[in-house]
Chains A and B, each alone.
Chain A
Amino acid sequence: MNNLKLAIRGVTRNKRRTLITAGAIALALTAMIVMNAFMDGSTKQTEDKVIESTGHVELYATGYYDKMRTFPTDIAIGDLDKTMVEIRGMDGVTDATARITFGGLTVHGNDEIAGLFMGIEPESADRVHHFADQVQTGRYLTPDDRDACNVGYRMAELLHIEVGDTLTVVTQTAYGALTAVDLTVVGILATLNPMIDEAGVLLRLADAQRHLELPDAATSIIVNGEDPGKAEKLRDDLLATLNAGVKPEPKPTESVAPADDEEVPLFAEGAPTGGFAVPKEQVEAPTKAGFEGYTWYQLNYLIFELLDFKNQIMDIIRAIMVILAAAMIVNTMLTNVFERTREIGVLMAMGAKGRQILGIFLGEATTLGAIGSLAGVILGGAFGLVLQNVGIDLGDQFTTLIKIPMDRVLYALVRPMMLINAFGLGLFISILAGLYPAAKAARMQPTKALRYN
């Protein structure tokens, strides 16, 4: 207690010196905190954006994932309504939305371009992906919009599409029959998900089901839980529940196909006139039993490899920052003590022992460290929070460059743990920095000290 009192008195005695020292510590920490807030914000934003486009967990019919590249519609989830009710009723599920993804050609006037089509449930898809906030022109789909669509803004640019135009989508049904669908464009989206922006057309799930002959079916179900960090558990729970009691589908009886080397007879016996009997063919249903599921992390692992690199760079920057901040603190502390050599001499002349000197200066270092660190954390935290609300604009062309969905405005993120760590670091370095000169001071010869200038 005595020491504390002495420390405080020492600190308050030369206010200017205290201000300079504590101020330096505060400044160092503020800079470090703001920097960290930015990097944390950037990382979180990317993660959020990725999670937003895929949802926490995606479910498919068994075998879909391996063929995903071609967007098959004949490996689909059946009994959709029943399945959705079951999923929505499960513990830990906050939202679920079904979707049919298919490929085809978008034709507008004389222009045609390959497109990626998604039949979505407008309301639940919006809750998961926030599409409604991403409308650039026109409006988002509603559940009543029969045969309407939203298109990505880059596709709209390429094909000169405007709200109100009609698009023809040429594709094939889940049974392989060519079909063409006319859709009215009610809105143009800028989702910052390049897959949608460059080639995406969104339509109602109900419409996709009708046109592709997939009643009560979907190609994927996206499920969100409370915490994206628990996606693995969510996936496992979902699969356990949904796959319980699923029996493998019996293979349809093989139709009698002419053997490959069975040659067609060269001559017919007279001109054929019988016509053809209607075959008893069994076509394999596009819906399959059984589910497979993937977390957002699994679906995006390539992106996260890239982010790992980004994080490595950020770690390097953080390290440099810490060195810089530490240098600042050490510098200040050293100066602080060394400049008071005469003062130390006086104290010794008045009878203070080495150990006491050490104690006093260490105490002062601690106090200064505490004050400076606290000030730094408050200042840095405040700054960071401001930047958390007001972001930095990164410009337009950003999204076409990178296949990772990212926002154009960068926001900071202040994490309480980060602030606590900063405080600890500041205090620790201050004490450490004050230790060396304090030790030196304690071992000084009083007469030498007094003569110091």
Chain B
Amino acid sequence: MNSLKLAIRGVMRNKRRSLITVSAIAIAMATIVVINSFIAGTDKQINDKAVETTGHLQLYAPGYYDERRTLPTDIAIGHLNRVMETLRATEGVTDVTAQIIFGGLSTFGGQEMGGYFVGLEPEAADRIENLAGRVTEGRYLTDSDADCCVVGYHMAELLGMKLGDVLTVVTRTAYGALTAIDLTIVGIAATMNPLIDEGGALMLLSDAQRYLELPDAATTVIVNGEDPLQSPALKEKVLAALADIAPPKGGGDAAVASATEPAAAGDSGEPVESPTREGFEAYTWQELNQVMLDMIQMRQKMMDIIRAIMIVLAMAMIANTMLTNVFERTREIGVLMAMGAKGRRILTLFIGEAAVLGVIGSIIGVAFGAAIGLFLQNVGVTIGDQLTSVVNIPMDNVFYALVTPGMLAQAFASGIIVSVIAGLYPAVKAARMQPTQALRFL
């Protein structure tokens, strides 16, 4: 207690010197907090975007994952309603939605482009993937929007599409028959998923099921749980729950699909192979976004370099200030010693002062840095909007910072520690000085 009082008095005695020291510490800490918050914000965004794009967990029929690049519609999950019900009843599952993803040709105005199409359940898909907010013109889909679509902004630009125009999608049903789907454009979106923005469209799952002849089926089922980080555990639970779904009766010939088909196998001999398959395979968002997660790692390396440089500088500044602070008071030390203070007392005194300065400086600095960080957390930094044509992964075009209590606490602690350590060396030297030497110091 005594030491604390002494330390505070020492600090207050030369206000100017203390002010200079404190401001140095404060600026250093503020900078570190701002940089950290910016890095944390960007990382979180990429992470969140990854989770958002895929959902926590994705389920497919066995064999789909390996073929997914060709967008097959004949490796599908059947008895969809039963599967969805089972999933919704599974503990830990907060949201479930099904989608059919397929490829084909987008034709419009005599031009055609290779396309990527998603049949989805509008509300659920929006909850999980935040799609409604990405519509730039017109509106998002609703459950009553049969034969409507939302198209990617860049394809709309390239082909000159406007709201109300009809996009014709030429593709094949899950059985291989040619089909053409006319969809009225109700919205244009910048989903930040290049596959859609550059040449794709969103439509109702029910439309996709109807046109591709996949009743009560889907190519993908997305499952969300409470915590994205618990996805591996969720995966186990989900697969266990689904294992209990019995295969259809009369299941000797698994080739005959459970749902009604447009034509019976008839007298043409061979049975028609059903596009749906029994069983499931599941992938967590981490597994699905491996490539994106590697990007975070890579970016971290670059930012780490920048951050390291700034930290070194900041800490050097604190050290420099402390050094000067102590060295300039050598005479003062001499006087104290002459008055009978032992080395240890001197040491404690100076360390105490360093600590007090560190605390004050860190508080101010961290507070200031947090204020800037919070500002950047609400007002982001915007970048160009042609982003999806040059980046292969989904990425937002506004970047936000992120301030967490942990980050602030850590900065605060390091500020104090560095101040004390920086003050240590000169304090030790001071303590070991010869009083007469010290007194003569100028």
A305-B384, A317-B306 known; A324 vs B314 contact (CB < 8 Å): yes
- A440 to chain B minimum Cβ distance, whole angstroms, is 10
Contact partner of B390 (CB less than 8 A), chosen from A24, A306, A394, A398, is A306
- B440 to chain A minimum Cβ distance, whole angstroms, is 13
Q: Name A114's closest neighbour in chain B (CB-CB).
A: B114
Task: Give A308 to B383 CA distance when docked, in angstroms.
Answer: 8
Q: What are 20 A-B pairs at a CB distance below 8 A?
A: A27-B320, A28-B313, A35-B306, A35-B310, A38-B306, A305-B390, A306-B387, A308-B384, A309-B384, A325-B313, A327-B24, A335-B20, A335-B321, A338-B20, A392-B305, A396-B294, A397-B294, A397-B295, A400-B392, A401-B392
Is B378 at the interface (CB under 8 A from chain A)? no
Is B230 at the interface (CB under 8 A from chain A)? no
Is B178 at the interface (CB under 8 A from chain A)? no
B23 to chain A: which residues have CB within 8 Å? 327, 331
Task: Give A28 to B392 CA distance when docked, in angstroms.
Answer: 38
The answer to whether A394 and B298 have CB atoms under 8 Å apart is yes
Contact partner of B27 (CB less than 8 A), chosen from A327, A396, A403, A410, is A327
- B309 to chain A minimum Cβ distance, whole angstroms, is 5
- B20 to chain A minimum Cβ distance, whole angstroms, is 5
Contact partner of A453 (CB less than 8 A), chosen from B34, B291, B324, B332, is B332
Interface string of B287-329 (1 = CB under 8 A from A): 0001110110110011001100110111011001101110110
- B220 to chain A minimum Cβ distance, whole angstroms, is 22
The answer to whether A302 and B381 have CB atoms under 8 Å apart is no
Is A180 at the interface (CB under 8 A from chain B)? no
The answer to whether B442 and A398 have CB atoms under 8 Å apart is no
Contact partner of B302 (CB less than 8 A), chosen from A27, A305, A338, A394, is A394
Interface string of A8-30 (1 = CB under 8 A from B): 00000010110011011001100
The answer to whether B317 and A401 have CB atoms under 8 Å apart is no
The answer to whether B292 and A334 have CB atoms under 8 Å apart is no
Task: Give A189 to B317 CA distance when docked, in angstroms.
Answer: 48
Contact partner of A16 (CB less than 8 A), chosen from B20, B291, B327, B390, is B327
Is A34 at the interface (CB under 8 A from chain B)? yes
A335-B20, A395-B294 known; A324 vs B384 contact (CB < 8 Å): no
A305-B384, A328-B24, A402-B390 known; A397 vs B291 contact (CB < 8 Å): yes
The answer to whether A335 and B313 have CB atoms under 8 Å apart is no
The answer to whether B317 and A328 have CB atoms under 8 Å apart is yes
Is A172 at the interface (CB under 8 A from chain B)? no
The answer to whether B392 and A194 have CB atoms under 8 Å apart is yes
Is A320 at the interface (CB under 8 A from chain B)? yes
- B163 to chain A minimum Cβ distance, whole angstroms, is 24
B20 to chain A: which residues have CB within 8 Å? 331, 334-335, 338
The answer to whether B390 and A20 have CB atoms under 8 Å apart is no
The answer to whether A302 and B389 have CB atoms under 8 Å apart is yes
The answer to whether B320 and A395 have CB atoms under 8 Å apart is no
B389 to chain A: which residues have CB within 8 Å? 302, 403
Task: Give A21 to B323 CA distance when docked, in angstroms.
Answer: 10
14 more A-B contacts (CB under 8 A) besides A306-B387, A317-B35, A332-B324? A16-B327, A21-B324, A24-B316, A28-B313, A35-B306, A306-B383, A332-B321, A335-B21, A336-B324, A339-B324, A398-B294, A398-B295, A401-B292, A453-B331
Is B16 at the interface (CB under 8 A from chain A)? yes
Task: Give A21 to B20 CA distance when docked, in angstroms.
Answer: 14
Is B17 at the interface (CB under 8 A from chain A)? yes
Is A420 at the interface (CB under 8 A from chain B)? no
- A426 to chain B minimum Cβ distance, whole angstroms, is 13
B256 to chain A: which residues have CB within 8 Å? none
B316 to chain A: which residues have CB within 8 Å? 24, 27-28, 328
Is A285 at the interface (CB under 8 A from chain B)? no
The answer to whether A302 and B390 have CB atoms under 8 Å apart is yes
Is A31 at the interface (CB under 8 A from chain B)? yes
Interface centre among A194, A302, A342 (most CB of B within 10 A): A302
A216 to chain B: which residues have CB within 8 Å? none
Interface string of B383-406 (1 = CB under 8 A from A): 110110111110000000000000
Interface string of B16-32 (1 = CB under 8 A from A): 11001101100110010
- A152 to chain B minimum Cβ distance, whole angstroms, is 15
- A356 to chain B minimum Cβ distance, whole angstroms, is 20
Task: Give A343 to B441 CA distance when docked, in angstroms.
Answer: 12
A324 to chain B: which residues have CB within 8 Å? 27-28, 31, 310, 313-314, 317
B381 to chain A: which residues have CB within 8 Å? 312-313, 316
- B137 to chain A minimum Cβ distance, whole angstroms, is 21
Interface set, chain A 389-432, CB cutoff 8 A to B: 392, 394-398, 400-404, 410
A312-B381, A397-B294 known; A306 vs B391 contact (CB < 8 Å): yes
Task: Give A394 to B298 CA distance when docked, in angstroms.
Answer: 6
The answer to whether A401 and B391 have CB atoms under 8 Å apart is yes
- B372 to chain A minimum Cβ distance, whole angstroms, is 10
A309 to chain B: which residues have CB within 8 Å? 383-384
- A167 to chain B minimum Cβ distance, whole angstroms, is 19
A38-B306, A328-B24, A401-B391 known; A302 vs B386 contact (CB < 8 Å): yes
A306-B384, A339-B17 known; A320 vs B295 contact (CB < 8 Å): no
Task: Give A453 to B328 CA distance when docked, in angstroms.
Answer: 9
Interface string of A297-336 (1 = CB under 8 A from B): 0000011011011001100110011011101100110111
6 A-B pairs with least C-beta separation = A309-B383, A339-B328, A397-B294, A305-B384, A31-B313, A331-B24
A331 to chain B: which residues have CB within 8 Å? 20, 23-24, 317, 320-321
Task: Give A398 to B298 CA distance when docked, in angstroms.
Answer: 7
The answer to whether A20 and B320 have CB atoms under 8 Å apart is yes
Interface string of B41-52 (1 = CB under 8 A from A): 000000000000
The answer to whether A20 and B312 have CB atoms under 8 Å apart is no
A325 to chain B: which residues have CB within 8 Å? 313
- B56 to chain A minimum Cβ distance, whole angstroms, is 22
The answer to whether A328 and B391 have CB atoms under 8 Å apart is no
A27 to chain B: which residues have CB within 8 Å? 313, 316, 320
The answer to whether A31 and B310 have CB atoms under 8 Å apart is yes
A332 to chain B: which residues have CB within 8 Å? 320-321, 324
Q: Name B69's closest neighbour in chain A (CB-CB).
A: A158
Task: Give A21 to B17 CA distance when docked, in angstroms.
Answer: 15
- A442 to chain B minimum Cβ distance, whole angstroms, is 16
Contact partner of A303 (CB less than 8 A), chosen from B321, B325, B332, B390, is B390
B328 to chain A: which residues have CB within 8 Å? 17, 335, 339
B323 to chain A: which residues have CB within 8 Å? 20
Q: Name A305's closest neighbour in chain B (CB-CB).
A: B384
The answer to whether B313 and A328 have CB atoms under 8 Å apart is yes
Q: Name A23's closest neighbour in chain B (CB-CB).
A: B320
- A278 to chain B minimum Cβ distance, whole angstroms, is 33
Task: Give A324 to B31 CA distance when docked, in angstroms.
Answer: 8
Task: Give A331 to B319 CA distance when docked, in angstroms.
Answer: 11
Task: Give A181 to B290 CA distance when docked, in angstroms.
Answer: 36
Interface centre among B14, B20, B313, B391 (most CB of A within 10 A): B313
A400 to chain B: which residues have CB within 8 Å? 291, 392
Q: Name A408's closest neighbour in chain B (CB-CB).
A: B298
The answer to whether B320 and A24 have CB atoms under 8 Å apart is yes
